[in-house]
Structure 1
């Protein structure tokens, strides 16, 4: 595991303990000027007209995992699983839909009850309905933790970034839902194009 990944893991553990202990604030109130500057960097990154594509690995509750290819553009996330078997996940608008080709099962979940919904606002704006619960950085890595401002108990999403050539690079989505289920998506082999796809 890389030094950045280890440090990022430490940051996630810290932010989870702080946020779940009830020390969160609404919007960006209570953040330092430097933290607000970093939060605005993340907003700008997530709202650019771009598409990220690459590989993901997933670790879920009880350590069960998966892997495949992902595509992210502002307001939309697609996961195409190859492991443990072929499945597709499409998340945008108000819902997440998981289609299991092995069993034929289709699962539809409201994004208002899933931490991924915090990432898929369009545009993403910290303040208002999204609350920054923690933001921190170490050399080469930074992260921000988010919750619903009006109902933070619905879940927590931590976005972990590497810093490369003074640019943010999204590396990890770390979510805890209202039931305490913890899912981590680690991104790799990520490429970026300059425009989001047309719907």
Structure 2
């Protein structure tokens, strides 16, 4: 019985990891950071209230200005690295390390027991579990190019469902314009300095996954080897 329950738990954790990674790849928005203690607080609206009809919002002048600021910030962001914290819809928590080098490159490596690795090398994005072969997707065929491309234009390239200013924060809810990637994502930026600090992914069932970044450093150019994933490479988390 204990063996059976252990297998059920492992299968559940595996599904959660792979579904989350697929959501990140599909929405193309692998980003966000932790709301620091004592900093501004912002909460994404509940799924039922957040762009419930899934319709693109008619943007006003203030909305376009806010989106332009966010796009300019992402475009100017050449490199970033730090730690991340992920909270799943069932309350499960995973942690790890991330690296970003625009244009085109990123790496999310999960700490044990997850052993999940997500790598974009400028052409492909790969999702690798220690017990399975890597799954690869062309970056150009996914909305991931939205933030990894040379120039970012959220208003033009994403379907904008909501733009909301809160004290000390800007919340932007986006969906894939092509309609091929289900779900939506809410990006939370700190104001007034415009820094991305948190994101909440909502799937088609209304389940939410939150990812936060901590100990973030910018301007540090990560080594090219971090953005290479060969088919026979297994994630060796924490060795770098």
1:131 to 135, 138, 159: 159
Instruction: Please tell me whether residue 90 in structure 1 is matched to residue 116 in structure 2.
Output: no
Tell me whether 1:193 sits opposite 2:210 in the alignment.
no
- The Cα shift of 1:141 comes to 1.4
Cα RMSD over matched residues?
Answer: 3.3
Q: Name the CA shift for 1:83/1:41 in 2 (closer, same or farther; >3 Å).
A: farther
Q: Count residues with an aligned counterpart.
A: 189
SS at match of 1:80: strand
1:8 equivalent among 29, 42, 45: 42
Residue 172 (structure 1) aligned with residue 172 (structure 2): no
Q: Supply the distance in 1 between the matched residues of 2:105 and 2:175 (Cα, whole angstroms).
A: 18
Preserved CA contact (<8 Å) 2:173 2:185: yes
Q: How does 1:38-187 map to 2 (within 5 A)?
A: 38-74=66-102, 75-91=104-120, 96-101=125-130, 103-108=131-136, 118-151=146-179, 154-163=182-191, 166-178=192-204, 180=206, 182-187=208-213
Q: Where in structure 1 do 4 or more consecutive aligned residues deviate above 6 Å?
A: 110-115, 194-199
Unaligned runs of 5+ in 2: 1-34, 228-240
Q: Deviations over 1:72-110 (max 9, x none)?
A: 233433111114343311146675422223x24423457
Q: Does 1:18 align with 2:44?
A: no
Flag structure 1 segments of 5+ consecutive residues without an equivalent: none
Is 1:146–1:157's contact at 8 Å kept on the other side of the alignment? yes
Indicate the SS of the match to 1:67. strand
Tell me how far 1:188 sits from its aligned partner: 0.9
Does the 8 Å contact 2:86/2:209 carry over to 1?
Answer: yes
Give the TM-score normalised by the residue count of structure 2.
0.64
- Structure 1 or 2: larger strand share? 1
Alignment check: 8 A CA contact 1:56 1:186 kept:
yes
Q: CA deviation at 1:51?
A: 0.7
- Give 1 or 2 for the bigger CA radius of gyration: 2
1:64, distance to aligned residue in structure 2 (A): 2.6
